[in-house]
């Protein structure tokens, strides 16, 4: 059974309704609608928030600062909504919230929305895009919280992601753990691409031809591309801090720099994803007699 069969089987078991759509990258992928949740007036302050769906070490901080350089887009440091939760610590508050039509999940969505809206309001800009790699593991919750969310799928050669992760850890790198971690991120990212519509770009294209790559992203977000986005070093983007995105000298340089060529060898577990993302030829399938 292929990894795609596994993803599609899991989707069916969770009750998602699959359909086909054309992706901005040119190939169709399955899209699913999240289960509906009644949204009452006042539940959501944000409209059409953008979310970058990506893996670790995929160039997402570069994309963040480029988007944040747009006059209409605020793209803050990583937020980590996955770990931002609320607690109902007594049966009385559970009963109280239930009378108001709220449970823990709905309360968390209110919190997420308010935190992001507060940050957007402080920026003075009208549109928010956020990126945190572990958002790929809560894509369903994000789309339930904001059914109008705009997704941006950022791809990078899986073997290059793995090498970057290993270089980042240095002598502490554990090859087996890193491979398992990167595979988990890549599969979650591809599962989100299978389920939801959005615009897909590659890190390699972003560094080689950033203007052309960013134009469909801007169109997807409902804004016009601005050439000043490419000069991100001339604007303030907050501190580059450990745990909140990349903080190395390369991103601090303020210049878009091409990555090193991908490794010649691709670990076998990453080859199906690499082929699906166009970094390897698709494996031939046997014809049914």
pLDDT at 154: 98
pLDDT at 170: 75
Strand partners of residue 52? 131, 152
Q: Is residue 114 domain-resident? A: no
- Specify the CATH number for the domain of residue 229: 3.40.50.300
Q: Is residue 28 domain-resident? A: yes
CA distances from 126 to 73, 216, 277 (A): 7, 19, 33
CA distances from 250 to 106, 131, 241 (A): 40, 19, 13
Q: Is residue 176 domain-resident? A: yes
Strand partners of residue 31? 19
- Beta-strand ranges (E) seen in 44-140 are 50-53, 73-74, 127-131
Q: Is residue 35 domain-resident? A: yes
Pair of tokens at residue 94: 């559970």
CA distances from 149 to 99, 101, 196, 249, 276 (A): 28, 23, 10, 32, 25
Q: Is residue 208 domain-resident? A: yes
pLDDT at 234: 78
- Beta-strand ranges (E) seen in the chain are 18-22, 28-32, 50-53, 73-74, 127-131, 150-155, 199-202
Q: Is residue 117 domain-resident? A: no
Domain that holds residue 67: 3-81+124-276
Q: Is residue 19 domain-resident? A: yes
pLDDT at 244: 64
Taking the chain (289 residues) in consecutive chunks of 10 residues, what is each chunk's mean pLDDT? 48 38 38 60 92 95 95 95 95 92 95 97 97 97 96 97 86 88 97 97 97 98 97 77 68 78 93 95 60
Pair of tokens at residue 213: 């790559």
pLDDT at 256: 86
CA-to-CA distance for 282 and 273, rounded, in angstroms? 10
Q: How many domains does the chain have?
A: 1
**The model scores a pTM over 0.85:** no
pLDDT at 255: 82
pLDDT at 258: 87
């Amino acid at each position: 059974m292929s990894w795609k069969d596994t993803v599609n089987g899991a989707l069916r078991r969770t009750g998602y309704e699959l359909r086909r759509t054309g992706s901005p990258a040119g190939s169709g992928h399955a899209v699913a609608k999240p289960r509906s949740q009644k949204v009452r007036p006042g539940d959501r302050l944000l409209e059409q928030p953008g979310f970058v769906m990506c893996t670790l070490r995929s160039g997402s901080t570069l994309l963040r600062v480029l988007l944040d350089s747009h006059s209409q887009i605020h793209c803050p440091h990583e937020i980590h909504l996955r770990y931002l939760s609320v607690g109902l610590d007594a049966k009385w508050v559970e009963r109280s919230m239930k009378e108001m039509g709220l449970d823990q999940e709905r309360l968390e969505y209110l919190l997420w929305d308010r935190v992001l809206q507060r940050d957007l309001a402080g920026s003075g800009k009208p549109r928010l895009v956020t990126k945190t790699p572990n958002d790929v593991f809560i894509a369903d919750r994000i789309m339930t919280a904001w059914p109008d969310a705009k997704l941006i799928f950022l791809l990078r050669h899986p073997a290059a992601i793995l090498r970057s992760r290993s270089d980042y850890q240095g002598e502490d790198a554990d090859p087996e753990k890193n491979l398992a971690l990167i595979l988990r991120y890549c599969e979650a990212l591809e599962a989100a691409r299978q389920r939801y519509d959005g615009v897909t770009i590659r890190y390699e294209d972003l560094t080689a031809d950033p203007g052309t790559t960013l134009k469909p992203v801007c169109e997807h977000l409902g804004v016009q591309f601005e050439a000043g986005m490419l000069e991100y070093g001339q604007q303030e983007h907050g501190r580059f801090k450990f745990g909140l995105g990349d903080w190395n000298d390369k991103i601090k340089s303020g210049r878009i720099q091409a990555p090193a060529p991908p490794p010649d060898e691709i670990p076998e577990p990453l080859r199906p994803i690499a082929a699906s993302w166009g970094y390897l030829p698709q494996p031939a399938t046997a014809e049914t007699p």
